[in-house]
Every structure is written in C-alpha cells, then in structure tokens.
C-alpha cells in the first residue's frame, strides 16, 4: 500500500475518532411512568451505544444495559406509584380531573424528589473527572429539573413522550397557531371548524395560564434544593437547547416547528427479538382463526373494572369464538373468574412480538400513544376505549383515518363490543387503511434512533445556542407583534386625526370667509 494511502486512512481515522468522542451525559427522569420511560430509555441507551457515558437518575434500573449506561440513582424507593396500574375508580377521577391535579401529581410532587439524599449529593458534589457535558430530562410539568443544566453550567435537552405541553412552546420559541395546532380532546385529523378553533384557542390559553400559575410552587423548590440564586422555572425552561418529541403528522397533524424541536415518533419501537414463552408461542400459532390482543398498557388495571362491565366483556369474547383473545392484565390472580375458554389472561406480554404475529386480527387499546404507534408500525387495526388525557384525541384521529372503531368505557355492552370486533376483522377497509398509514409512518430517511443521536451530538458539537430561536429572547407580545400592530394602529389613528384636523381647519376657514363676505345687492 502506498504511503499516501496510509496517510489518508490515518487522517480519516483521526477525524472519525474526533467525531465520536464520548461525552458524559446526565439523564434525569423522575416521573415514575413506564410508558413515558419506554421512550427515554431508548434515547439514553442509543447514546451509550454511540460511545457516550450515560448516568441515569430514574425509577427503572435496566437489565442488560449497554456498558456505558450507568443506573446511578434509583428513585424507586420514594413511593410515587400512582401513575402505574391505576384502578378503574382512579381512572374516573383522572378523566374528570382538572389541570391543577395533573400539575400537582406529575409536576410539583415529582419535584420533591430533589430532596432525595442521593440526588442532593449529586447536586452538591457533581463528578469532576470528567464533569458532565450535557443534561437530558423530561419536558412535562416538572420543569424544576431543568435547574440541573443551569447548576452544572451545561446545555440541557428535553424529551417529550407525547406532544408538546402548551406552556413549553414559548420557552422554545416554537410558534403555537391555535387555528391548526389543536389541544382539544376531540381534535380532528384535518382542519378544525369554527367551533373547534374557538374551543381550541380558549382551551390553549386556559391551559397556558393555569399550568404557569400552579407550577409557581416549583420556584421555591429550585431555590430550596439548588440554592437561592436559581431563577424561576419559566426562565430555566428557556435554557432548553433541543426538544425531542414523540409526535408525527399522522397522529398530530402538520404543525410549525423550530429547528430546536425534532420529531422522533416511534423511537421506542424496535424488534428486540425477545423470546416468546413456549406456551404463548403455541397459543398464538394455534389461533388459526386469528386472535385479538387486549391491553390497557402499564397505566390501568383491567381487573379493577366493575363486575358488570367485565361480565359484558366476557360475554362479547365468548360470542366471537373461535376468534381468540389475548388479555393483558396487571394481576391475573385478581381478575374475576368467568372468562370464556377462548381468552388467555397474562401478566406479561411481549407486545411487539404479538403485534407482528401473522395471526393477529386486531388490537383493543385505551389509546396510549406508544401502543398506537406500535400498532401502526405493524399495521394492526384498532378498537379504542379511551380513558383520559390525550387518549380521546388519539383514538378520534385513528377513527377519522379509518383504522379504528371507538367504544365508550362507561358503556361497555356485549353487543357493541362484538359489533366493533366484527367491524375491524371482517371489513377489509380497516386493514387496507392501516397498511397505508403504516407505510406513511415508517417512510423516513433515517431511523428515529439515529435522528435523536444526531441532534443531541449536534448540540454537543456546536453549543447550546446553535438551534435556539431568537423568539426565546422576546416577550409574548413581541412574538405576537402586538407592539408592531399597536404602533401601526396608533400611527394610522394619528394620521387620520391630523387629516381630520387639517380638513376641519380648512373647511372652517372657508365657511368663516364666506360668512364674512357682504351680500351682493340686487340691481334692476
């Protein structure tokens, strides 16, 4: 090999080594929600696989994590478990809950974990050999954790497992046009009519004002746990250099985004080739007439539903035999007896492996975004039974796209359930529509993992302000150009006043001159 070739190879190797030089990254995810963490762990594991040192603070230590993935602090002992395995009664409470309760439960209460002894030790004695280069945390209602970026003097990146909460648009400089970006629960897949735009605008303004009001309690917390010089959380949110958000036009429509907001929808979906237990593999393979997968995810305990509802569901499942039902429940021992022979209740289900199975005919879901994305990825028609939060809007969009049928969880009657199952399994348009939507969802230039790692490394390479919108330096009335419109309006009014004054003066002078002239005498 020629010396020039060797030099070229050496030069490329040096450049490559410099490009993938590892950073030390702190990941802080204090919300004990498994569905949220499903996305976050994939981002952090991807960074570890890319050669970065990842230190994690979370409720969910990982088995078989990459070598650079370090579960440094476990928050599992602090006892916040309400957002997992909720009962039917608690679901009804959430369905009618006001924003105050949501902010308190998933924001202010979560900020108290800053007082955890190990977290306090991290704050007071952060590692210095090497120090942290970046902080990554969740963007939801616990904005107190953005203080880590200011405290460690490093960029901070946010992750959102759903859409952007309304109050986070301003700190990102992200435009929020309520004519096309919907926050209402019955948001449509296409355009909104006047009533929906009016409702959406009022709802968005209300959510912005209310969330900011109730999150003020976190201002005292960051000063208590980080020091008296720490600014308010609204200012800390403006430190965010990048937001990776779990949205896609299929589910959330076309919306304007700044370069600092990057969509990575479905990042948690990957075929991990997890082993299906032998008994389940046989059950799935023997389901020659097909099977329906029923799961309310990690949030809700199906077995806690009223006995009357369970009786209706059991009756419906019996009527659709020989079609089988794979039923995921939190605790099969607590599930009331009486399910028909075509039902298999299980505590744990390898969901991706089940959704990609050749015999699956449909998926009954509560409408959680993660599960919907998995169903779309593997083109499985849906029956949606939304319970609370964004689930209503998620299912409504799926219904509008012709890939789902919606049922009301307060009106679960056997005949309605049977009709829904027959609709998605016997009407070919649902499978056809789902295949088309699936192709659109998966048609991307790069995987969401690669996109996430690229933009995080972009911030590491080019600095905290490299993607920041100039709108973050403006007040809300400057962003909305109210000062400009006000100046233009005042100028027009001033011009009109001057014109009116000039005309009034001229006309007044003319009339006064005419009145002062002597009348001509009439001559014969």
Phi-psi region of 79 (alpha: psi -120 to 50; beta: other; left: phi over 0): left
Both 219 and 74 in one domain: the answer is yes
Both 422 and 451 in one domain: the answer is no
Residue 495 lies in a domain: no
Residue 498 lies in a domain: no
Say what the pLDDT of residue 524 is: 47
pLDDT at residue 309 above 90?
A: yes
Q: How many helical (H) and strand (E) elements, i.e. helices and strands, does the chain have?
A: 22, 13
Both 142 and 256 in one domain: the answer is yes
Both 256 and 349 in one domain: the answer is no
Both 418 and 379 in one domain: the answer is yes
Residue 337 lies in a domain: yes
* DSSP-assigned beta bridge partners for residue 362: 292
Cα separation, 129 vs 328, in Å, equals: 46
* Cα 251 versus chain centre, distance: 11
Residue 499 lies in a domain: no
pLDDT band at 508 (very low <50, low <70, confident <90, very high): confident
Number of separate domains in the chain: 2
Both 295 and 438 in one domain: the answer is yes
Query: What one-character DSSP code corresponds to residue 166?
Result: G
CB 364 within 8 A of CB 293: yes
Q: What percent of the chain has pLDDT over 90?
A: 70
pLDDT band at 7 (very low <50, low <70, confident <90, very high): very low
pLDDT at residue 315 above 80?
A: yes
Both 390 and 431 in one domain: the answer is yes
Tens-digit pLDDT profile for residues 70-129: 999 999 877 665 555 666 666 666 655 567 888 998 999 999 999 999 999 999 999 999
Look up the CATH number of the domain holding residue 170. Answer: 3.40.50.2000
Phi-psi region of 402 (alpha: psi -120 to 50; beta: other; left: phi over 0): left
Say what the pLDDT of residue 181 is: 86
Say what the pLDDT of residue 327 is: 96
Residue 311 lies in a domain: yes
Would you tell me how many other CB atoms lie within 10 Å of the CB of residue 445?
A: 6
Both 210 and 237 in one domain: the answer is yes
Closest CA to 449 of 66, 64, 146, 149: 66
Both 382 and 470 in one domain: the answer is no
Say what the pLDDT of residue 95 is: 58
Both 233 and 332 in one domain: the answer is no
Q: Which domain holds residue 418?
A: 278-442
SS3 253: coil
Say what the pLDDT of residue 90 is: 67
**CA atoms in the 13 A half-sphere facing the CB of 143:** 26
Both 113 and 262 in one domain: the answer is yes
Residue 490 lies in a domain: no
pTM of the model: 0.88
CB 332 within 8 A of CB 347: yes
Cα separation, 524 vs 518, in Å, equals: 19
Give the pLDDT mean for 183-201.
78
Residue 9 lies in a domain: no
Q: Which of 21-25, 81-85, 337-341 has the lowest mean pLDDT?
A: 81-85
Both 102 and 117 in one domain: the answer is yes
Residue 430 lies in a domain: yes
Tens-digit pLDDT profile for residues 241-286: 999 999 999 998 889 999 999 999 999 998 766 778 999 999 999 9
């Amino acid at each position: 090999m020629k010396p020039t070739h060797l030099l070229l190879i050496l030069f490329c190797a040096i450049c490559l080594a410099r490009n993938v030089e590892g950073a030390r990254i702190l990941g802080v995810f204090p919300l004990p929600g498994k569905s949220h963490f499903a996305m976050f762990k994939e981002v952090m594991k991807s960074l570890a696989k890319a050669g970065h040192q990842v230190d994690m603070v979370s409720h969910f230590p990982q088995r078989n994590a990459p070598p650079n993935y370090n579960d440094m602090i476990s928050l599992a002992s602090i006892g916040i478990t309400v957002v997992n395995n909720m009962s039917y009664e608690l679901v009804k409470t959430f369905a009618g809950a006001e924003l105050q309760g949501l902010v308190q439960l998933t924001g202010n209460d979560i900020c108290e974990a800053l007082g955890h002894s190990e977290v306090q030790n991290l704050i007071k004695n952060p590692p210095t050999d090497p120090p942290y280069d970046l902080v990554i945390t969740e963007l939801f209602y616990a904005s107190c954790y953005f203080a880590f970026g200011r405290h460690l003097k490093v960029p901070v990146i946010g992750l959102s497992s759903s859409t952007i909460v309304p109050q986070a648009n301003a700190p990102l400089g992200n435009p929020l046009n309520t004519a096309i970006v919907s926050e209402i629960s019955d948001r449509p897949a296409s355009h909104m009519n006047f009533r929906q735009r009016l409702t959406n605008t009022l709802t968005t303004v209300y959510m912005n004002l209310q969330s900011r009001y109730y999150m003020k309690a976190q201002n005292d917390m960051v000063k208590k746990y980080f020091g008296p010089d720490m600014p308010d959380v609204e200012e800390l949110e403006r430190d965010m250099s990048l937001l990776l958000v779990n949205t896609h036009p299929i589910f959330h429509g076309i919306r304007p985004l700044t370069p600092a907001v990057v969509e990575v929808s479905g990042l948690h979906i990957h075929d991990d080739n997890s082993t299906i237990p032998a008994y389940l593999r046989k059950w799935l393979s023997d389901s020659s007439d097909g099977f329906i997968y029923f799961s309310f995810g990690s949030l809700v305990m199906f077995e806690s539903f009223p006995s009357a509802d369970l009786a209706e569901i059991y009756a419906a499942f019996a009527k659709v035999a020989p079609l089988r039902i794979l039923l995921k429940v939190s605790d099969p021992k607590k599930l009331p007896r009486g399910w028909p022979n075509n039902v298999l209740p299980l505590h744990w289900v390898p969901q991706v492996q089940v959704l990609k199975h050749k015999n699956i005919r449909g998926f009954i879901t509560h409408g959680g975004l993660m599960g919907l994305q998995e169903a779309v990825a593997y083109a499985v028609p849906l029956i949606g039974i939304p319970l609370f939060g964004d689930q209503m809007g998620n299912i409504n969009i799926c219904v509008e796209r012709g890939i789902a049928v919606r049922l009301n969880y307060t009106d679960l009657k056997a005949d309605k359930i049977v009709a829904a199952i027959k609709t998605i399994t016997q009407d070919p348009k649902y499978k056809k529509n789902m295949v088309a939507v699936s192709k659109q969802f998966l048609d991307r230039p790069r995987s969401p993992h690669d996109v996430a790692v690229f933009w995080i490394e972009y911030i590491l390479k080019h600095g905290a302000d490299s993607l920041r919108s100039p709108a973050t330096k403006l007040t809300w009335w400057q962003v909305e150009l109210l000062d400009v419109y006000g100046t233009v309006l005042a100028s027009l009014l001033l011009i009109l006043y001057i014109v009116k004054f000039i005309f009034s003066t001229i006309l007044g002078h003319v009339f006064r001159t005419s009145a002062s002239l002597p009348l001509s005498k009439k001559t014969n």
